[in-house]
Amino acid sequence: MKKYIRPLLTVLALVSILVFSDFLNRRGTGNSAPKTRIAVFRFNSNQLQEETEKGLLNKIQTSKEFLEGRLEIQRYCSEGDMPTANMIALNIVNEKFDMVVSISTPGLQVMANANKEGKVLHVFCAVTDPVVSGVGITGTATNEHPAHLVGIGTFQPVESIIRIAREMNPKLKKLGVVWCTGETCSEACVKKARVTCKELGIELVEMSVETVSQVYEAALAVGEKGVEALWIGGDNVVESAIEMYIAAANKYKIPVFTNNPKHALKGAMANLGANYYEVGSTAGAMVISLIEGMPTNKIEIKNVVPEQLFINDSVRTLMKEKWNYPEELRARSTDWHKK
């Protein structure tokens, strides 16, 4: 029992320190008027969610409302631990925040479950497909979401990255993926990948995991099946183990294709996805508009994907198979060294 309690207590301690220090940083504005209290709830500390949070906070903290001392922000992170996430979500509701911004699909789901009565206005972002998340969103129209729940979706460009893989290697026949079957965001991406691979005549070799610790062995098992490349979509579990995923691919000298541009920095060869800083900034703009009086029944659930393509060409030359880098892709790709 102790081996389970100690990590949880450590996470809770870190969360408490983060929240308390954030509160101290925002005291003493000299404005005694009631403030709008905003909770920012990040599910995990992976690069995607951290970039989203940076964009979100920058947009809010440069607003007139914040600079005039009318907003109070408290940050929470559950470090990917579901019991901790549930505790944080309940705390946010019980502490009677005016608004909560959740980052990621699991964050949306946990927060929505704790906030079923709509006591807190809930804005979500960095969510693959809100409609299939099981939180009462039935479509993208203004009347197809609960009155207290609004936000933006960011469906990863799954079809495009697989087509890029075929463009870089016209002989590509087998593509591998490790994904967590417990995540609706990952399932949505894999379903899209199955359709695209079938259209292109590519066999999609799948392996499921439940925890981060299983990712490396699962990736090795997929590699043993003769795949010519690995791909990762919107999967929070595999995202948290991206270095291990890439390390497994390197053992077979096969490239990794991802839907997170920043994974080029970690050694993934081709990476097409959203600029999550901009995703967070867009969510921040929605937060400010709501504070200024925008009614939630005027807000659609839009898909926001400000695309970036990063190609790590130094990886390409180390692969077992021949992978091309067409001029068209060079023209589209951002210089990832400068990011």
DSSP 295-321: -GGG---EE---EEEEE-HHHHTTSSS
Report pLDDT digits (tens) over 156-187: 999 999 999 999 999 999 999 999 999 999 99
Strands 307-311 and 270-274: antiparallel
State whether 134 and 188 are in the same domain: no
What is the residue range of 179's domain?
158-273+308-338
State whether 64 and 92 are in the same domain: yes
State whether 139 and 206 are in the same domain: no
State whether 47 and 130 are in the same domain: yes
Please say if the pLDDT value at position 140 is more than 60.
yes
State whether 242 and 320 are in the same domain: yes
State whether 151 and 164 are in the same domain: no
Domain count across the chain: 2
The pLDDT assigned to 13 comes to: 42
Report the CATH number that the domain containing residue 220 is assigned in CATH: 3.40.50.2300
pLDDT above 90 covers a percentage of the chain that reads 84
Task: Show Cβ contacts of residue 203 under 8 Å, excluding neighbours closer than 6 positions.
Answer: 173, 174, 175, 197
H or E, element range at 84? helix 82-94
State whether 88 and 100 are in the same domain: yes
Report pLDDT digits (tens) over 117-126: 999 999 999 9
The pLDDT assigned to 9 comes to: 46
Report pLDDT digits (tens) over 51-95: 999 999 999 999 999 999 999 999 999 999 999 999 999 999 999
The pLDDT assigned to 28 comes to: 40
State whether 163 and 263 are in the same domain: yes
State whether 221 and 79 are in the same domain: no
Name the token pair of 36.
């709008």
Q: Is 121 helix (H, G, I), strand (E, B) or coil?
A: strand
State whether 117 and 213 are in the same domain: no
Report pLDDT digits (tens) over 4-49: 554 554 455 455 545 544 543 444 444 566 899 999 999 999 889 9
Residue 210, Cβ neighbours under 10 Å: how many? 11
State whether 122 and 177 are in the same domain: no
| HSE-up of residue 190 (Cα within 13 Å, Cβ side) | 19
Whole-angstrom distance, CA of residue 235 vs CA of residue 190? 10
C-beta separation of 128 from 154 below 8 A: yes
H or E, element range at 185? helix 184-200
Report pLDDT digits (tens) over 256-305: 999 999 999 999 999 999 999 999 999 999 999 999 999 999 999 999 99
Q: Which of 165, 174, 188, 282 is nearest to 234 (CA)?
A: 188
State whether 202 and 319 are in the same domain: yes
H or E, element range at 219? helix 215-223
Strands 307-311 and 174-180: unpaired
Task: Show Cβ contacts of residue 119 under 8 Å, excluding neighbours closer than 6 positions.
Answer: 93, 96, 148
Q: If phi over 0 gives left and psi between -120 and 50 gives alpha, with beta otherwise, what is residue 83? A: alpha
